[in-house]
Structure 1
Amino acid sequence: GGRLGCTSAGWLPAGSLLPSTGSYRVIHPLSPIPSSWPSRSGGVPPTLSLAPGAHLAHGRHGATLSLQAQFGTLSDYFDALSKRTGIVPGMKPPGFPVLSGDFFSYADREDHYWTGYYTSRPFYKSLDRVLEAHLRGAEILYSLALSHARHAGMDSRYPLSDYALLTEARRALGLFQHHDAITGTAKEAVVVDYGVRLLHSLVNLKRVISNAAHYLVLGDKEAYRYDPAGPFLGTDDMRLNQDSLPEKTVIKLDTSPRFVVLFNPLEQERLSVVSLLVSSPRVRVLSEEGQPLAVQLSAQWSSATDMVPNVYQVSIMTRLPALGLSVLQLYKSFDSHTTLMSSVRLHLHGRELPVRPHEVFPVRVVPATSDDFCLDNQHMQACFSGLTGLLQSVRRAGEEHRLSTEFLIYGTRSAKDKSGAYLFLPDGDAKPYAPKEPPVVRVTEGPFFSEVASYYQHVQQVVRLYNVPGVEGLSLDVSCLVDIRDHVNKEMALRLSTSIASEDTFFTDLNGFQIQPRRFLKKLPLQANFYPMPAMAYIQDKESRLTLHTAQALGVASLHSGQLEVILDRRLMQDDNRGLGQGLKDNKRTCNRFRLLLERRTTANKVRGALFPSLLSHMTSMHLNAEVLAMPVAQEKPAPPALRSFRPLSATVPCDFHILNLRTLQAEDDSLPSAEMALILHRKGFDCGLEAKHLGFNCTTSQGKFSLGSLFYGLELGSLQPTSLTLMYPLGAASPNSTVIHMDPMEIATFRIHFG
């Protein structure tokens, strides 16, 4: 609260940086300012005169206090604490309290809790996560491609300039994760600048991935030619502008094969349904070896009842290698014995909408009824309301669980301070979302997936159930396309209501790394009970756990036992007086994506394990946040050279290990790559007390041991050196022999590696 007087530079406010030379006077904040100095008050205060690097001296009596001011570190603090208490350094002093957890949620005054920014501008929170996944995939694939090119003596042909694109994308992501961007609390013009940077980097990363994939899938590496003007592989999707949703690439079919390269960014083998858009319903898909594959053919919809003409969705169930590339062939064929058609039925509920007949997909209009209907696969059955199209219950292992969804609307206060980019100040409990017209419910059923699409005025929800063994088929895929641009001071939420007796406790993650228990506190206002959800939130009782996995950071709460509630988007017309100077009026059409995972808890490890996801839950989150990328070969004629799949790993990675990154380090010229790489590993903590012995979910662990020596197929590990996380400090000698490492759960370790 005081002011600092500087005779050479005039008055400086408290907290200013001082010049490195000169002498200064420090004025006590409760003392009057000298009359000889520019001030509104007079008098001579006791002063402290401070010259840089000198000791502080008391000005009234001229006595030296022998006090030295310097910056301190945590080590200084704990060393002083150990000296004061007589405790051996590193040992916990007895009787000292321990604080764990975080500071969420917090208010700066009254009941002004900063819980709104958890959700503000969700479009860009989603784009940030997409860029993050692409950056990791591009870093790993670039490192592998460059290493194999060097091993073959072809690095001179490889586009080393792609390294500068990786650096630029890293910086764009780091800039966006500055507090005013990822929080959605920047001015509109600044948001556009952030979005342009993110989109530019995303386009560049797709180029890096396609260039690396081009080299790695060529059967004859001597045929490799990099042409920046005509890339060999196209992209999986396109965004017209920085605030546009992605549009998937349509593959034009012909009687000659079109090749598609699939990239799996996960370090685990993956059985997934991959959906592509093609120009003809007469499609045949072959594997790399030429074997015909069964496919599901579905319509591509432009609205609730209108199909996109001449565009069809073909879905293939395929097993993809870990961190690898697979090749598919598609061509136009009138031999359709491998094509399995989807069936479509519409619940119009009295609405007279035109439903055009379609020669490929006959549409059946169902009379208005409130009867529930169900979709099922080999693991579960999900039942929906025929009236609303929203989820009602889930049956697993012969047990039925209530699991219903509904949309809600929060308003803001009518007097004094109102909700803004930072603050969530609701006008009371949420009210049910009441659109002007009942929804159109469209049900699609097929052999590989079935889905229910509910079209409301401001939100379109699609719940998809995959009929796939393993991870994909054990959870429900949920997406909500939200558009509230005609709302005024409203926030839309999705509430899950279950029969789980969770009482007042629920769990959210911290930065996707650890789980933090939360409690609903009735004594606090409603807005104080919301918490950030970067990756997941769950509720549980002794029998069951329901996890909501998210592909974008949002705000979440559990306001009643058995409930989870997530804010989808917020449109607020005024500033909340926290420095932004404007409201949130630049809403976009935003697609929020989730996975709903219901697990049965066993008797083992129920107490300690509550703070960890299960291995299945970890894998579900990774499947959601690291989607398969499909890149069609750009050239149609003549036929491309022989392509073959790429399997970079010669051993299976234990499924509690996650390769955070395999990043090529920069050379002395920071725009070029060096021969060294940083391998960053994370061993996850997981709950053993959840049933994970599911069909197709084959997961093995190794008690923290991991052999890196022969991990990468075709590449010999020349040296391995453990370092600090930032690679600044070596933690051991570089050795080609010590390639078996051990990590404890929740540890992250960085290694500097060099391939021979």
Structure 2
Amino acid sequence: MAESRLLLCALTLLLTAASTARALPVHTSCPATKPSMLNVHLVPHTHDDVGWLKTVDQYYYGGRNYIQHAGVQYILDSVVSELQKDPARRFIYVETAFFHRWWSEQSAKTRNIVTQLVQEGRLEFVNGGWCMSDEASTHYSAVIDQMTLGLPCLHIRPGQKYLHRSDLIFANMGYDGFFFGRLDYQDKGRRMKMKEMEMVWRASESLKPPTADLFTGVLPNGYNPPAGFCWDQSCSDDPVQDDPELEDYNVDDLVNKFISISKAQADVYKTNHIIMTMGSDFQYENAIPWYKNMDKLIHYVNARQKNGSAVNVLYSTPSCYLQELNLAKQIWPIKTDDFFPYADDAHDFWTGYFTSRPALKRYERLSNSLLQTCNQLEVLGGSQSRDGPFGKGDSETMRRAMAVAQHHDAVSGTEKQHVANDYAKRLGIGWDHCQVLVSNSLAALSGSNVPRVFCENLNISVCPLTEGSKRFSMNVYNPLARPISWSVHLPVNGSSYSVQDSNGMAVNSQVIPVSKATQNLRRGRGYAKNELVFQVQAPPLGFSTYSIILLGRAGAPDEPKRAAPVSMQNKYLKATFDPTTGLLSGLTNLETQQSIQLSQNFYWYNASNGNDESRQTSGAYIFRPNSSTPYTISSKPVVSTLQNSVVQEVRQQFSPWVSQVVRLYEGSRDLELEWTIGPVPVDDGLGKEVITRLDSSISSAEYFYTDSNGREVLQRRKDYRPTWDLKQTEPVAGNYYPMNSRAFIKDKGSQLTVVTDRSQGVSSLNNGSLEIMLHRRLLYDDYRGVGEPLSEPGEFGDGLVVRGRLLLTLTPPETAADAHRPLAQGMVLQPLLSFQDGTPSFSALQASLPPAVHLLTLSQWDKDSVLLRLEHQYESSESKTYSKPVTVNLQKMFSTLKVVGASEMSLGANQWKANMTRLQWNTGEILKPLQAEQGDPTPWEITLNPMEIRTFLLNVQLR
């Protein structure tokens, strides 16, 4: 997918030759412009996907060119060579994942040349991340991680200076500008008429302006060159033929056309500066035709100035263009909503990829959780974590795999199948490396070198150790900075077990039979007949240990009753079921006595294969159902019920390919829906978009709410856009939005919140309704470049089977955030289970952090330093209890680390916070000077305001 977002960041290379060089200020490296003319900034660039139609390695080396001709190593070779020929030439590059690999192969001479080009402002790095991450399907924590990995100036030492013009997330990293090309065609049309193609995007209502303000511009041609001016070897446009003796002499025609295009573009922008992106996907493998023709274009267009032309063309970069806009002293409009959903035509909504490849989306989310655990334990276990009794482990392999997975054709699900397999393989290798590190670290912390086993298939009740052992222990590591309670299902073959916690106290446990749906899903993997179910607790940033002993194999647990229950309840929550259909019918919060009618079922939309109205089909990117009315999979599933002192379950079989377990655990305030879908049948010739829909008695008035990459919450409304008058052409697809962790509907009395375990598409098409797309299997490509239908074969070749969880809470609206914020964080950062003999418990914190504070990052930086990010996870008006400033003491935080020094950094950890400066933009408002709502009481006590993330480099010693 040719992604459009260009994030402004003129960066010095972190590389050896640049480490002692003085960087030039940005303004001195920019070319001169002409104030009385229309200045056309040509920005030569390439867009190099970190995997899409080919894998990362294939793109870098130029392998499998029969799929797509692309070889990134040659692009960088060629561009560096051509830049040296003329000091006026410039180029921007994005993907640090590719550049890092290329740089490692270069000689000292080439590195010095590149460093000089950067210092002169002729080679500029934009974005700065390991890749250009997706906007819809990513979680903010993973985006921050990949930016931290990719930004070249990772290590900043006193006395070093770096050239840096950089962009909630991007504004807090110090970025000044954000340029992109893809926005809804109706929105773009209105902006062109109103000359609002550039604006100030106010990304947060919680942070005082202009803290989260980000100058944002819409690129005129996506990220492509204007029509007729593509001079890559892959293009067919005519070159500049400037010999008047030749029959094909075309200078006058090309100059006239270019001036006409430039003036037309200037008519929809505010200033006498416009930007033209000169490049596209994997272009500049041979940079000669590009630069030779652009040199001529600049020469001949500017030569017209002698005859009165007021058009001035120059090589430029986004930083230089942005600087000219800032100097123009215009008043810029403000935007506060986002750009979802996006359509490039009336029936072409890019809302399918919110759900595409749901298994990969889940694997990425689980990998993010493991990476955070791996990072933390690398710090807590010291050097032994990297080289200990179980071998050499590392977090870097997973860090890079996760960074690549954030790419806009990775977690988005918009890549070819063989590329998706490669992303999963890279994550799998990262798991292996992290598990060695985790084993080493836990050995150091527990004093036990007994081998440790990780069971990665517990979701389908497979774990050889628990299935066959008479006695074992389970370690529960909690990556959150607050205590957690977690429900565990362990595959076993006995009928009776003793479970004891870290203090030797008996834990209530029950044995239940493995469901038929799970047995079918395993397909010969594992042989457990039963599951041992109990609740575990773990301290903040620490672990607890549970001892499990087999008491008996005789007998078998009671089989579920083949009947629907009237209800299931604990002391907090009650769920009722229709006795005739066995479907959920109501939900009651027993603490507040709130009660709503609530039904839930599964449906599928018939995916369009094109029609007379439009040839557009549903595919990896596009969601386009044939009808606004979905098909019901079953109105009366086969139901069985199981109830004991630990868990209550209603097992529902809707069809051979759709089943669900509705669970309520003792002591839980949320209702769990564990769904299993697949293989989705397509033998009938119909592609299917599978959803679950919750229909309630809540009067939502066509409003619903979704999270934004897991952080702030945005209000949505059916058939409405805050920025323009929408002409709705796709009543279903045009109302779908990304949901990264949660969505909800509410009225004055009640809020129903759904927390998910991966990124998915969500909508509310009827009053009191929420529908979530869970799985997609399609028969046609959607003409956006992938070239194959989204029909994943799955492990056994007959179609992908996916299992996932949704958690439902019912609360008063004014206290809902107090429930769903920690619930969502717990779904993102899950406890890590491992099995062996171990010590009772451990916590790296002296005490839990306050409920409003989330420990976002704890990772090793260098030998004596660690990177710490703390965030206030509540918005300013979200919670009466927690939407207040909160103070924590860095020196009193850790039990095993002695903090001897702390320096605050930017969010991207690539510059000191005190050195951050950003351009100021005139929005016509009178803003009060920025002052901290509440300052830090002491150098060690730091205060977090709502939605604030603060990043520190800590000098530490192990206690």
TM-score under structure 1 length normalisation: 0.78
For residues 630-680 of structure 1, give each alpha carbon's deviation from its aligned partner in whole angstroms, at most 9, with x where no partner exists. Answer: 2111xxxxxx6x7231111112201111111101025xxxxxxx2211001
For residues 424-453 of structure 1, give each alpha carbon's deviation from its aligned partner in whole angstroms, at most 9, with x where no partner exists. Answer: 111111323235x95321211111221111
Deviation at 1:27, TM superposition (A): 11
- The structure 2 residue matched to 1:281, chosen from 491, 495, 505, is 495
Deviation at 1:313, TM superposition (A): 2.0
2:330 is the alignment partner of 1:98 = no
Aligned to 2:870: 681
Question: In 2, Cα distance between the equivalents of 1:304 and 1:270?
Answer: 27
Deviation at 1:177, TM superposition (A): 1.4
Question: In 1, Cα distance between the equivalents of 2:363 and 2:527?
Answer: 29
Aligned to 1:554: 760
Deviation at 1:324, TM superposition (A): 1.0
Going from structure 1 to structure 2, the CA distance change for 1:461 and 1:683 (only over 3 Å counts) comes to same
Question: In 2, Cα distance between the equivalents of 1:27 and 1:372?
Answer: 65
2:614 is the alignment partner of 1:419 = no
Deviation at 1:293, TM superposition (A): 2.6
Secondary structure, aligned partner of 2:425: helix
Question: In 1, Cα distance between the equivalents of 2:820 and 2:501?
Answer: 30
Secondary structure, aligned partner of 1:331: strand
For residues 42-92 of structure 1, give each alpha carbon's deviation from its aligned partner in whole angstroms, at most 9, with x where no partner exists. Answer: 57447599759999973247579895735455697477546635xxxxxxx
Aligned to 2:804: 592
Secondary structure, aligned partner of 1:207: helix
Aligned to 1:465: 664
Aligned to 1:117: 353
Structure 2: segments with no counterpart, 5+ residues: 1-39, 45-77, 90-224, 230-237, 259-292, 721-726, 793-798, 916-935
Deviation at 1:126, TM superposition (A): 0.8
Question: In 2, Cα distance between the equivalents of 1:286 and 1:708?
Answer: 34
Deviation at 1:34, TM superposition (A): 4.8
2:541 is the alignment partner of 1:323 = yes
Aligned to 1:540: 746
Deviation at 1:738, TM superposition (A): 1.9
Structure 1 segment 52-451 matched on structure 2, within 5 A: 58-60=302-304, 69=314, 71=316, 77=322, 81=326, 84=329, 96-146=332-382, 161-163=392-394, 166-218=395-447, 232-238=451-457, 247-251=462-466, 257-303=471-517, 311-333=529-551, 359-363=555-559, 365-366=561-562, 373-396=566-589, 397-413=592-608, 415=611, 416-435=615-634, 439-451=637-649
Secondary structure, aligned partner of 1:184: coil
Counting matched residue pairs gives: 652
Question: In 1, Cα distance between the equivalents of 2:952 and 2:226?
Answer: 51
For residues 333-388 of structure 1, give each alpha carbon's deviation from its aligned partner in whole angstroms, at most 9, with x where no partner exists. Answer: 36x9xxxxxxxxxxxxxxxxxxxxx9322336546xxx761000001110123344
Worse overlay, 534-543 or 516-525 = 516-525
Question: In 2, Cα distance between the equivalents of 1:54 and 1:746?
Answer: 47
Question: In 2, Cα distance between the equivalents of 1:97 and 1:657?
Answer: 34
The one-letter code of the counterpart of 1:113 is F
**Contact 2:461 2:528 (8 Å CA) reproduced:** no
Deviation at 1:173, TM superposition (A): 1.0
For residues 156-213 of structure 1, give each alpha carbon's deviation from its aligned partner in whole angstroms, at most 9, with x where no partner exists. Answer: 75778323xx111111111111111111111111111112122222233233223222
The one-letter code of the counterpart of 1:426 is P
Going from structure 1 to structure 2, the CA distance change for 1:686 and 1:313 (only over 3 Å counts) comes to farther
Secondary structure, aligned partner of 1:421: coil
Secondary structure, aligned partner of 2:842: coil
Aligned to 1:652: 848
Aligned to 2:17: none
**Contact 2:698 2:768 (8 Å CA) reproduced:** yes
Higher strand fraction (1 or 2): 1
Aligned to 2:694: 496
Structure 1 segment 658-737 matched on structure 2, within 5 A: 658-666=854-862, 674-686=863-875, 703-731=885-913
Aligned to 1:340: none
Worse overlay, 621-630 or 40-49 = 40-49
Going from structure 1 to structure 2, the CA distance change for 1:279 and 1:630 (only over 3 Å counts) comes to farther
Deviation at 1:294, TM superposition (A): 2.4
The one-letter code of the counterpart of 1:645 is S
Deviation at 1:557, TM superposition (A): 0.6
The one-letter code of the counterpart of 1:601 is P
Aligned to 1:622: 825
For residues 290-320 of structure 1, give each alpha carbon's deviation from its aligned partner in whole angstroms, at most 9, with x where no partner exists. Answer: 3333222222234489999764322233331
Going from structure 1 to structure 2, the CA distance change for 1:686 and 1:102 (only over 3 Å counts) comes to closer
Deviation at 1:332, TM superposition (A): 2.6
Question: In 2, Cα distance between the equivalents of 1:258 and 1:171?
Answer: 34
**Contact 1:20 1:52 (8 Å CA) reproduced:** no
Question: In 2, Cα distance between the equivalents of 1:514 and 1:540?
Answer: 17
Question: In 2, Cα distance between the equivalents of 1:477 and 1:441?
Answer: 16
**Contact 1:273 1:318 (8 Å CA) reproduced:** yes
Deviation at 1:248, TM superposition (A): 3.8
Going from structure 1 to structure 2, the CA distance change for 1:185 and 1:54 (only over 3 Å counts) comes to closer
Secondary structure, aligned partner of 2:359: helix
Deviation at 1:260, TM superposition (A): 1.9
RMSD: 3.9
Deviation at 1:614, TM superposition (A): 0.8
Question: In 2, Cα distance between the equivalents of 1:425 and 1:27?
Answer: 30
Paired-residue identity, % = 25
Going from structure 1 to structure 2, the CA distance change for 1:253 and 1:288 (only over 3 Å counts) comes to farther
Deviation at 1:714, TM superposition (A): 3.2
- The structure 1 residue matched to 2:775, chosen from 569, 572, 584, is 569
Worse overlay, 493-502 or 186-195 = 186-195
Secondary structure, aligned partner of 2:546: strand
Question: In 1, Cα distance between the equivalents of 2:678 and 2:350?
Answer: 24
Aligned to 1:751: 952
**Contact 2:877 2:883 (8 Å CA) reproduced:** no
The one-letter code of the counterpart of 2:348 is H
Secondary structure, aligned partner of 1:580: coil
Going from structure 1 to structure 2, the CA distance change for 1:34 and 1:701 (only over 3 Å counts) comes to closer
Worse overlay, 39-48 or 478-487 = 39-48
The one-letter code of the counterpart of 2:377 is L
Higher helix fraction (1 or 2): 2
Deviation at 1:564, TM superposition (A): 0.6
Aligned to 1:221: none
Deviation at 1:703, TM superposition (A): 2.7
Secondary structure, aligned partner of 1:567: strand
For residues 480-528 of structure 1, give each alpha carbon's deviation from its aligned partner in whole angstroms, at most 9, with x where no partner exists. Answer: 1110432231111111111111112111111112111111117512211
Question: In 2, Cα distance between the equivalents of 1:619 and 1:295?
Answer: 25
**Contact 1:32 1:41 (8 Å CA) reproduced:** no
Structure 1: segments with no counterpart, 5+ residues: 7-15, 86-92, 219-223, 226-230, 337-357, 605-612, 634-639, 667-673, 693-699
Going from structure 1 to structure 2, the CA distance change for 1:315 and 1:364 (only over 3 Å counts) comes to closer
Deviation at 1:29, TM superposition (A): 5.6
Going from structure 1 to structure 2, the CA distance change for 1:252 and 1:539 (only over 3 Å counts) comes to closer
Going from structure 1 to structure 2, the CA distance change for 1:185 and 1:251 (only over 3 Å counts) comes to same
